[in-house]
Structure 1
Amino acid sequence: MTSPTDTRPTHRLSEAGVSIWLDDLSRERLATGNLAALVAEKDVVGVTTNPTIFAAALGTGDAYASALAELAGTDVEAAVERITTDDVREAADVLRPVFDATHAVDGRVSIEVDPRLARDTERTVATAVRLWETVGRPNVMIKIPATLEGLPAITRTLAQGISVNVTLIFSIERYRAVLDAWLAGLEQAQANGHDLAGIGSVASFFVSRVDAAVDAALEKVGTEEALALRGKAAIANARLAYAAYRDVVGSERWAALQGAGAQPQRPLWASTGVKNPEYRDTLYVDELVVAGVVNTMPQATLDAFADHGIVLGDTVTGTADDAAEQIAAIEAQGISLADVTARLETEGVSKFEASWSQLLETTQAGLDAAAFQGGAA
């Protein structure tokens, strides 16, 4: 529990208006009470998941042994959906008090549609609806990737009153399209008679992967000027994204929806684990502090920030001009940020597809082993 004199970095971050979400979920974390402890002790108010997280969870330990035994003989696709939605439902129940206390803003748990559908609008919408209904909790969010095909899926899913976490956003141009898709979705939801107050949405803007890609390109250039720009692209890109967000929530279009009770689609800083060991391990938290955003952290980043994170007030507002100058300096080295972010989107979808395949393989192996043991018994 927090108190007025709480000086924990995570509490100070929360007081600065940043919602801390955990970028991880597993049955072991739920069964041991670890998630509940993180809510109580490290100010965690939400959870995000993705295929990589679930693949790692299913491939570690024996927490899913009883579930696999129960599902032995089940189609692997159905088994994966059952296991992941059960985990998300239980996590949503753990976070329900936060959801209620924050009036449907936090206390959210995200589950992603099958990444193999990232280029298929129709099936993405159908899967989003099924996941929403299967989990059956108002504080779940359905993750939809911000591919070109994902944009209309975002609008159509929101229009049905379903909360959406838009994922795999790398470029400012695509982010602006996401914001437009979100507004259109809320407008259609209102026309469809849905209560806008309960429809949550976040836009997951990826951070560290941008630095990893741009830094590699700067190192190929190899000049002193180029090398001095390493570690600058991701923060600058995110700060420009926040400026784009502020433009939209300052518009008359948003004002009309807000007047009808709608929540803003908060920027969510994703991929905040530092990939370069030369950088401060809390870099993508310390430098992106501003009220009204979410920072979703893997466990290692959360632990690091809880130990020695820095909160010196707002580090984002008013930084757009400097951020634009940094991006311009990087592009002056012959590096196209548009090309980098387009490649990162393609790679992101491919990585999640690979994780999904691994999840299916691990689950199938577990189902087979359970069936064999059941037969032997």
Structure 2
Amino acid sequence: MAQNTRTQALSDAGVSIWLDDLNRLRLTSGTLQELIDSSNVVGVTTNPSIFQAAISGAEDYDADIAELAGSGADVDAVVEKLTTDDVRSACDLFRPIFEQTHGQDGRVSIEVDPRLAHETEKTIAQAHRLFEIVDRKNVMIKIPATREGLPAITEVIGAGISVNVTLIFSVDRYREVIDAYLAGLEKAVENGHDLTTISSVASFFVSRVDSEIDARLEKLGGDALALRGKAGVANAQVAFGLYLEQFSGERFAALKEKGANVQRPLWASTGVKNPEYSDTLYVDNLVGSPSVNTMPEKTLEAVADHSELAAPLDADAAQRAEAVLEEVAAAGVDLDDVWQVLETEGVDKFEKAWGELYETVGAAVAKAAKA
């Protein structure tokens, strides 16, 4: 099956396409394989919201839930088994891509319990547990870029485990994430790990930035309205400039000599929430080489149908983007407050989704136990 010309163009430009979705039906029906074959999909990301949507009300999981409940498994054990089984199966599906790309792609991400976002040691422990349970070289453990998550990132990378750093909103926090990754690689060297086997991406959220900043611009009114829909892309473009700077420096150069991989920027939350904006806005304007764009299927379909890629990102683009953020700040938007609000809301949303998943599975376990 031939690849779509537009997704192929994105891939040729250095952007890896990862699907931001996973469920049992995608795996058993062959639709995920179809996206691999037709739309250049070379990886998958999951998160608590995705698992909640996948398992809640889906009959695909009923037999497993009944069997686990019958064996006396509690809700925690059932949720862990369902989610890690799906991730393991996806890892097996993507194994050929993982091998062809020498570990760069073919990756499947699974996130630590969002309730641990502010607990460093417990995050580290669960990252190790998930890595051991999935038991696949191409799994990536997602750790949120909270203050408490940063040292966890260093420790987990230092243990030779690949990490997808998630919930990054500000460029300042992204700088700290890069530092945590490099510190992790240095620790991995001390621990005797092969750096060529360690991979990482830094997931920079995009559409949520526009949603929050647009709302503030609308309250300001007047000339500020002309800045709507610009901050999300600009923020990500500035982040790519930081990537170029940091991974061309002496600290990484020393690690690269030992086989280290760069930590690629990943554009997350790329589904456009404002219908007035182009539905490929967060793809066309974020052509960074190398980078990853993780898309919900609706966005992937839009890209395949009518994507028009802008010029590749470079240091000059980052400087122009910085000017946009300066305009937003000058208009009266407190960007530091925006980043804090978005991080807090991001963790809260994942915690809520995880809680809803536990309620759903708990009810199913109780029902199965009575049957």
> Into which bin does the TM-score normalised by the smaller protein fall?
over 0.9
Aligned to 2:301: 303
SS state of the match for residue 326, structure 1? helix
Task: Look up the equivalent residue of 1:152 and give its one-letter code.
Answer: P
**TM-score (normalizing by structure 1):** 0.96
Contact 1:24 1:47 in 2 (8 A): yes
Task: Confirm whether residue 364 of structure 1 aligns to residue 362 of structure 2.
Answer: yes
SS state of the match for residue 144, structure 1? strand
Deviations 1:242-270 (A, max 9, x none): 11111110111101111111111000000
Deviation at residue 61 of structure 1 after TM alignment: 2.6
SS state of the match for residue 294, structure 2? strand
Aligned to 1:230: 228
Contact 2:66 2:365 in 1 (8 A): yes
Aligned to 1:136: 135
Aligned to 2:80: 81
How is 1:1-377 mapped onto 2 (pairs within 5 angstroms)?
Answer: 1-2=1-2, 8-72=5-69, 73-223=72-222, 225-373=223-371
Task: Look up the equivalent residue of 1:276 and give its one-letter code.
Answer: N
SS state of the match for residue 339, structure 1? helix
Distance 2:311 2:258 in 1: 31
Count of residues in correspondence between the two structures: 369
Distance 2:53 2:310 in 1: 35
Distance 2:67 2:108 in 1: 25
Deviation at residue 307 of structure 1 after TM alignment: 1.1
Distance 1:32 1:363 in 2: 23
Distance 1:196 1:366 in 2: 43
SS state of the match for residue 227, structure 2? coil
Contact 1:290 1:317 in 2 (8 A): no
Distance 2:214 2:242 in 1: 24
Q: Percent identity?
A: 59
SS state of the match for residue 204, structure 2? strand
Deviation at residue 7 of structure 1 after TM alignment: 5.9
SS state of the match for residue 217, structure 1? helix
Change (3 A) 1:363 1:7: closer
Contact 2:140 2:164 in 1 (8 A): yes
Contact 2:168 2:202 in 1 (8 A): yes
The root-mean-square deviation of aligned C-alpha atoms, in Å, is 1.1
Task: Look up the equivalent residue of 1:205 and give its one-letter code.
Answer: F
Deviations 1:123-159 (A, max 9, x none): 0000000000000000000000000000000000000
Deviations 1:192-235 (A, max 9, x none): 00000010100000000000000000000011x10000001011
Contact 1:239 1:288 in 2 (8 A): yes
Distance 1:12 1:34 in 2: 22
Contact 1:170 1:344 in 2 (8 A): yes
SS state of the match for residue 108, structure 2? strand
SS state of the match for residue 318, structure 1? helix
Deviation at residue 313 of structure 1 after TM alignment: 4.1
Distance 2:270 2:186 in 1: 32
Contact 2:280 2:303 in 1 (8 A): yes
SS state of the match for residue 110, structure 1? strand
Question: Stretches of 4+ moved more than 3 A in 1?
Answer: none
Distance 1:242 1:313 in 2: 14
Contact 1:288 1:316 in 2 (8 A): no
Segments of structure 1 that go 5 or more residues without pairing to the other structure are none
Contact 2:244 2:315 in 1 (8 A): no
Contact 2:285 2:310 in 1 (8 A): no
Deviations 1:324-370 (A, max 9, x none): 11111111111111110111000100010001101101111121222
Distance 1:130 1:208 in 2: 32
Task: Look up the equivalent residue of 1:54 and give its one-letter code.
Answer: F
Distance 1:213 1:117 in 2: 25
Q: Structure 1 residues 7-16 or 294-303, which shifts more?
A: 7-16
Deviation at residue 179 of structure 1 after TM alignment: 0.2
SS state of the match for residue 24, structure 1? coil
Distance 1:313 1:174 in 2: 26
Task: Look up the equivalent residue of 1:311 and give its one-letter code.
Answer: L
Contact 2:4 2:40 in 1 (8 A): no
Segments of structure 2 that go 5 or more residues without pairing to the other structure are none
Deviations 1:57-110 (A, max 9, x none): 011331111111111131101110111000000000000000000000000000
Contact 1:199 1:263 in 2 (8 A): yes
Distance 2:229 2:86 in 1: 36
